[in-house]
Amino acid sequence: MNSLVRLVVILLLAALPAAADTIVLKSGRRLQAWNVQERGERYYYETPEGEVSLRKDQVERIERDDARPDWGRAAVSLADLPALDDADVLRVVAGGQVDSALLAKLEGEAARGDEAARLRAAAALALVGRLHLEQGRRDPAAESFRRALTFAPNHPGLLLMLAVAEIERQRYAAAQEALRPLFSNKDYAFHAYRLQGFLYYATEEMDRALAAWKQALALKPDPALAAELKAIEQEARAAEDLAQRASGRFVLRYEGSERGSERLAGGILRALDGMYDQFGSAFNYLPREPIIVLLYPDERFYELTGMPPEVHGLYDGKIRVPVAGLSSLTPSLEQVLRHELVHAFVFHKTRGRARHWLQEGLAQYYAGQRPQVSGDVFRPLFEPRDGSALPRIEAAFGNAGSIFAAYAASWLVVDVLMRRYGRGDMERLLDALERGESTEQALRSAFRLTLVDLDRLVYDSLR
């Protein structure tokens, strides 16, 4: 996960999904963790309190999963909402299911009852909303928080949860409205300004984003946010002189003083609009907010992103492409734009839950970028052995010596699935990931495949 995408995760208070893992200790204890990394003789992982490490000899195994860690749900506190420990309130969401009849009973009592009854209904609806968020059901989550606020008006925890739900729905104006009462609340203002900064950053209002994050840091020191702020300030300086064009679906920023830049920008915007229609149909999904596209005319792309020269595009919440020396849309640039736009669609449709192999496989598939490498390069990743090939592909992305094999293997897996099952089942896979299912569960839901079945299918196609 690069720094800008990690910033998005931080600013969403962990309500947007991040890859979660389970560390199984030799003692039998199971720890949920985020971003587990192996360094020397220890495993390092992240918690809300910061980075923690364990000796390798304490660990039995690491179970990789796509689900959000439990601690992420606690990042937005509802602890000061009364009645959360009421027996009836807790039964409303017992077992991960909503008891609609009991919820209706509590709401009915609140409508004609006293303050205590209203607080019970608000607490029950808050738990229902949080459950919907965990299950990827963003619209019902927002509706639940709004109903809760009718019984506990202007409760800061509910307003913050509503803002998170609206951000997940890409309804940024509604999120801003929910945040507005929190700026004067000393206990919630830091979180409100931090989220507001993300909202402005996502819509390319850089000055406002920087002002909001600086206000957050003035209220409370936050080393992670402070470090990321420095990178965003550099990006803002690079964007100061960029011209802008918009189509309703895209906001395109480019160097307007360059010769031929207007013609290039116009060609890119027309091409992107055509791709948007195609991918909207392919993924049965349309982003609710315009996608930001930044064209860099010189080395600033590589300076800002830290990407090596062989990388010709990046999606990190915004599409970033170097266009030095170009005055019109070329086939290779169009292919790069298609690749990055697929990343944007898949990221938003799955709420970031698609693993690296699936993201890159789909991006190459829809961009027509069949890897030109020998099968011998990536065949070892699929040879029968203990465990699935998918984690091996994921690991290969992190190794400079095997990255070409990782890209080729990712394309092959997606190509095999698309040829055998088709676009409809692939869409179901993405829907399952969006609901919070793990990769293995989603493969079963969409294709009726186990990880072993998928390995065998791909390996047979190689033969």
Q: pLDDT digit string (tens) for 152-188?
A: 999 999 999 999 899 888 888 999 999 999 999 998 9
Q: Which fold has domain 3-72?
A: SH3 type barrels. (2.30.30)
pLDDT at res. 16:
33
- Which residues make beta-bridge pairs with 295? 321
User: Do residues 318 and 294 touch, judged by C-beta distance below 8 A?
Assistant: yes
The backbone torsions φ and ψ at residue 23, rounded to the nearest 5 degrees and listed phi first, read: -95, 115
Would you say 341 and 276 are in contact if contact means Cβ atoms under 8 Å apart?
Answer: yes
Q: What DSSP line would sit under 197-254, residue for residue?
A: HHHHHHTT-HHHHHHHHHHHHHHS--HHHHHHHHHHHHHHHHHTT-EEEE-SSEEEEE
Class of domain 243-350: alpha beta
Q: Do domains 3-72 and 243-350 have the same CATH topology?
A: no
Residue-range domain boundaries for the chain: 3-72, 243-350, 356-462
Q: What is the per-residue DSSP string for 21-54?
A: EEEEETTS-EEEEEEEEEETTEEEEEETTEEEEE
pLDDT for 386 equals 72
User: Would you tell me how many other CB atoms lie within 10 Å of the CB of residue 246?
Assistant: 12
* Parts of the chain with a pLDDT under 50: 1-19, 48-50, 66-76
Residues whose CB falls within 8 Å of the CB of residue 372, separated by 6 or more in sequence, listed in order: none
Classified as helix, coil or strand, 63 is strand
Which amino acid type is present at position 187? D
User: pLDDT at position 270, please?
Assistant: 93
Helix (H) or strand (E) holding 294: strand 291-296
The burial of 239, by beta-carbon neighbours within 10 Å (0-12 exposed, 13-18 middle, 19 or more buried), is given as middle
Give residue for tokens 């660990």. Answer: 59
Cα distances (Å, whole numbers) of residue 44 to 17, 60, 64, 225, 228 = 20, 15, 14, 20, 21
pLDDT reported for residue 426: 96
Q: What is the pLDDT of residue 388?
A: 85
